[in-house]
Amino acid sequence: MSESLTRLLDGCRNGHSLPGGLYRDPEVYEKEIRAIFLKSWLCVGHQSQIPQRGDYFLFEMAGESVIIVRESEDRINALLNVCRHRGSRLCDTATGHESRLVCRYHGWTYGLDGSLRAASRMSDGFDRSLYGLHRLQLRVFAGLIFINFDPSPVPFDPIENDLAAPLAPYQLDRAKVAHRQNYPIASNWKLAVENYCECYHCAPAHPEYSVGHGRAIPGDELATLLAPVMARAAAAGLTEESYVRNSWLAAGALGTDRGYKRYALLRGHKTGSRDGSPLAPFLGTIKDYDGGATDLHFGPMMFGLAYCDHVVLYRFTPRGPRNTDCEITWLVNGSAAEGKDYDLAELTWLWDVTTVADKQIIERNQAGVDSRFYRPGPLSPMEEFTGLFLQWYVATMRAAG
């Protein structure tokens, strides 16, 4: 570990924001990419984004580009977007369809499994089988596509084991993407995650959200509100468990971080909409609105909010020490038709308006922590989850050495 990183980590205090250098130092950022993002299971998308053989989308993170391509009905591959000849990118567009992957530089041609199929005018004895595209580890769970850059990754099973039961009623493998939207944020990735993890800011910053969501109020009041929701959960077809696990409590959980928590909606709101009224057909086997919503957390950068009629996935992807992509994906029942069963503008309204506000908040936070006079400040009890994230972060970076 470099001297400056050791010094910065030594300056961290539990229950406080981080020293300023951790929010901007390029060396720290590079270490984070290697220690956290290249070792963790990363949720990159949903299988419905690539329904046909040859459909692909790109996952871009920290200067890396990965082609997520469907090879067959039951096989999806994650291929590094780097030609094995002299390293050119193969695919440029964010989504597309190809029957083969052809490098436009010198024409090397790869199959959808990444194997090199053609390379003209190479020397005798050139062995094509040695020059397939690098293939990353990939798992599909609940319709969600997870990849891992590490060739010998941490086991995926803990994520599946903990989240299979709470996610079962939603049948996300039968859901479809209704909309995706990227909100680039000019900030370090940790400021974006810190913001997502707390609702201390919700009452002042998000009136549209706070009117219907119990996370915007203190925990003890929330517990009282949650009781009737839990009582209705089983009848609605949802699990009665209110809390499975928050693996940020365990510093050893690198790469398989996961969590699930159900909370109450307020004032009779049924879902995350403008006035709380329904937005789309029920997901999966859900039969009724129970007055709650489920917070989800997969890996270091993917969060989600599951309502009875749609799911919002929030992905934070580092793009540089001071640049983070916040991509939102709205999932609905796979058989729902836009315009008939749901209105896209209404479906996306709440989290669009909330994220536009968050982007501004987070960018102002970055500007402030960049001050020579900034010092880490104390967290409120309403920022407990942010505190856990920061503890996890410090422990993980220390363990990485």
Return residues touching ligand FES (CB under 6 A): 83, 85-88, 103, 105-108
* 86, interface contact from ligand FES, Fe ion, none, CB < 5-8 Å by kind: ligand FES
Determine the interface stretch with Fe ion among 38-46, 182-190, 310-318, 358-366 (rule: CB under 5 A): 358-366
* 110, interface contact from Fe ion, ligand FES, none, CB < 5-8 Å by kind: none
Closer to Fe ion at the Cβ: 309 or 358?
A: 358
* Cβ–Cβ under 8 Å, residues 350 and 208: yes
| Alpha helices, DSSP H, located in 327-383 | 344-369
Number of residues lying near Fe ion (CB under 5 A): 1
Closer to ligand FES at the Cβ: 101 or 193?
A: 101
Cα 392 from Cα 197, distance rounded (Å): 13
Closer to Fe ion at the Cβ: 198 or 257?
A: 198
Please report how close the Cβ of residue 211 comes to Fe ion at its closest, in angstroms.
14
* 358, interface contact from ligand FES, Fe ion, none, CB < 5-8 Å by kind: Fe ion
Closer to ligand FES at the Cβ: 130 or 220?
A: 130
Cα radius of gyration (the chain): 22
CB-based burial label for 127 (10 Å; 0-12, 13-18, 19+): exposed
Binding residue for Fe ion, selected from 25, 194, 309, 358, defined by CB under 5 A: 358
Closer to ligand FES at the Cβ: 103 or 347?
A: 103
Please report how close the Cβ of residue 80 comes to ligand FES at its closest, in angstroms.
13
* 243, interface contact from Fe ion, ligand FES, none, CB < 5-8 Å by kind: none
* Cβ–Cβ under 8 Å, residues 77 and 138: yes
Cα 282 from Cα 278, distance rounded (Å): 9
Residue carrying structure tokens 């940020």: 248
* 184, interface contact from Fe ion, ligand FES, none, CB < 5-8 Å by kind: none
282: tokens are 């029920």
Closer to ligand FES at the Cβ: 106 or 375?
A: 106
Closer to Fe ion at the Cβ: 332 or 350?
A: 350
What's the gap between Cα 350 and its chain centre? 18
* 88, interface contact from Fe ion, ligand FES, none, CB < 5-8 Å by kind: ligand FES
Binding mask 314-353 for Fe ion (x = CB under 5 A): ----------------------------------------
Closer to ligand FES at the Cβ: 105 or 243?
A: 105
Is 383 near Fe ion (CB under 5 A)? no
CB-based burial label for 201 (10 Å; 0-12, 13-18, 19+): middle
* 377, interface contact from Fe ion, ligand FES, none, CB < 5-8 Å by kind: none
* Cβ–Cβ under 8 Å, residues 263 and 293: yes
CA distances from 160 to 41, 112, 284 (A): 12, 27, 18
* Cβ–Cβ under 8 Å, residues 187 and 239: no
CA distances from 119 to 96, 101, 181, 377, 392 (A): 23, 12, 38, 58, 47
* 25, interface contact from Fe ion, ligand FES, none, CB < 5-8 Å by kind: none
358: tokens are 């968050």
Q: Rule CB under 5 A: which residues touch Fe ion?
A: 358
